[in-house]
Amino acid sequence: MDEWIDIIIRKKNSESLEPEEIARFVEGIMRDEIVPEQASAFLMAAVLNGLDEDESVALTKALMNSGQTLNFRDLGYPTVDIGETGGFGSNAALVAIPVAAAYGAKLPVVADRSLGIFCGLLDRFESIPGFRTDLGVHEFEDGVRSLGIAVTGQSTEMAPADTKINQLRTRTGTLGGAALTVASLLARKASAGVRGLVVEIACGSGGMAKNLTEAHRLADDLFNVGEGLGFHVTGSITNRDNPLGHCVGDSLELSEALDVLRGEGPADVKEVAVDLASSLLVIGQLATDHAQGSQLAEEALRNGRAYEKLKDLVSNQGGDTMALDNPERLPRGQGKRDVLTQRSGYVKALDCEALGRAWVALGGSRQHRGDSTDHRVGLQIHRKVGERVERGEPLATLHTSERSKIEPAVEAVEEAYLLSPEPGEAGRTMLENFGRRR
C-alpha cells in the first residue's frame, strides 16, 4: 500500500503517527508527491480525530523547518508576539503591540489576513496608506533589530509548508480543529524567531471557539505544545458573544484603536489591550508581574508613548503617519446605510457570526485566501447586548462601497439582533486567563 494512503487511513482510524511519518508527509506535500486529494483527506482526519501532543509538536516542527528560521537571541530580551486564533472584531492587538514596543519589547510580528468572519491584523496595518507588509526576511530582521518591532505577513521564505497547507484548508472546510490551528500558529511564530507568545482566544458566536469547552481545549493545546517547543505561552479567553468595541472593518477598527492609543476609545477594547500588553511585557522580561505590566500599559496610553511608537513603526515601513493624526486620510466607504430597528426593546442577544457575515457581504473580508478585500467598508455597531433601542433608531451603520452589496449586509445585521422587553446580560469581556503569567 502507498505510504501516504497508509498514513491517511491510520489517522482516519485515530491511530497515532510517528514524528518521522508526519515530517515525511509534510515534505511530500512540499515536493508535490502527495496530491491535493490525499493531503485534504489527512487534514480532515486530523480535524475530526485530532492529533496528540507528540503529533502536534512534530507537525509544528515540520512546518517550521520547511523554510528559513530567524534567531534574535543576541538581542538580550526574549522576542514576543501576539497570536490570535480567529475572532470577529479583534483590534486590541493593534493597541497592545505598540504599548509593549514602547518599553523596549522585541516584536517580530508575523500577522495574518482576514478570512471569513475572522479579522486579520495584517489588513488593519495595510489600511494605513503606504504601509508595507511585503518585507523580505532581511528587511524584517533589520526592523526588529533597529526599531524593536517589524510587521510582515507570512512569506514563501518562512514556514512555506504552512502557507501551502492553509491554502488547502480554506478550500476543504478544514480551517477548524484545534491541533491544526495550534501547529499553524506556532510554526509561523517560531519561524520568525518568537520565543514568547501571548494568545487571545475569542470565544462565542464570533470566535473560532464557540464555547468555553472548546476554548479550554485550544488553550491547553497551545500551552502544552508551545511549552514543548520551548515557547513561553500565556493568553486570555475573551467574550465574542458581544462585539469588542463598536467598529468592524479594517479602517474603522484602526481608527478605534487609534482612539484608545490616544487615551480615549471604548473601555472594552482598552481592557483587552492592556491585558495583552501586560502579558507581552511580563514574558518579554520588562515587567515583574501582571500588575506591574498593567500599570506600565496604562501609563503608555495616558502619556502618548505607545501612540508615538506606532508612528515610528508606520514611518519605518513606508506608511503615512499624517493619516494617524488625521483619520479623514484613512480609506473610507463611499456611502453609509443605517440599519433601523422595527420595534423597541433591549438587545437580549447578538449573533456576532451574523454581523461578521454582513462585513463579508460588504467585501471587507475574504472567502478564500488570495482574495482581495476592501479596507474602506465595515460596520459601526450602535447597540450591544443589554442596551435599549427605540423603534426607528439605528442598530448599526454600514460603510459601503458598492450598492449591490448593501441588502445582503442589511439582512445579516437584522438577523444578528434578538430584542426583548427585558435586557440581556452582556457578560464579562475578559473570561479567563491561561498559561504562565510570570
Task: Identify whether residues 153 and 23 lie together within a single domain.
Answer: no
Q: Are 199 and 233 in contact (CB under 8 A)?
A: yes
Domain for residue 56, yes or no?
A: no
Mean pLDDT, rounded, for 29-44: 93
Residues in the chain: 438
**pLDDT tens per residue across span 200-245:** 999 999 998 999 999 999 999 999 999 889 899 999 999 999 999 9
Pairing between strand 196-203 and 80-84?
Answer: parallel
Domain for residue 61, yes or no?
A: no
Q: What is the CATH number of the domain that holds 365?
A: 3.90.1170.30
110 forms beta bridges with 152
Q: Is 437 a residue whose pLDDT tops 70?
A: no
Measured CA distances, 268 to 12, 257, 385 (Å): 42, 11, 13
Domain for residue 68, yes or no?
A: no
**pLDDT tens per residue across span 400-413:** 998 989 999 999 99
**What pLDDT is recorded for position 76?**
86
Task: Identify whether residues 242 and 322 lie together within a single domain.
Answer: yes
**pLDDT tens per residue across span 68-81:** 999 999 998 899 99
Task: Identify whether residues 138 and 160 lie together within a single domain.
Answer: yes
Task: Identify whether residues 289 and 345 lie together within a single domain.
Answer: no
> φ and ψ at 210, to 5 degrees?
-85, -15
**What pLDDT is recorded for position 15?**
93
Share of the chain above pLDDT 90, in %: 82
In 316-429, the DSSP E strands lie at: 335-340, 345-350, 378-381, 388-389, 394-400, 417-420
Total count of domains within the chain: 3
Mean pLDDT, rounded, for 284-290: 95
Residue for grid cell 506606532:
310
Question: What residues make up the domain containing 32?
Answer: 3-49
Quote the cell numbers at residue 160: 512555506
Domain for residue 148, yes or no?
A: yes
Task: Identify whether residues 212 and 355 lie together within a single domain.
Answer: no
> φ and ψ at 418, to 5 degrees?
-115, 115
Q: What is the CATH number of the domain that holds 82?
A: 3.40.1030.10
Domain for residue 67, yes or no?
A: no
Q: How high is the mean pLDDT of the chain? A: 93
**What pLDDT is recorded for position 372?**
82
Q: How confident is the model at residue 436 (pLDDT cuts 50, 70, 90)?
A: low
Task: Identify whether residues 280 and 353 lie together within a single domain.
Answer: no
Return the ∠ at Cα 134 (arms to 130 and 138), rounded to 5°: 120
Task: Identify whether residues 174 and 239 lie together within a single domain.
Answer: yes
Q: How confident is the model at residue 351 (pLDDT cuts 50, 70, 90)?
A: very high
Count of beta carbons in the 10 Å neighbourhood of residue 343:
9
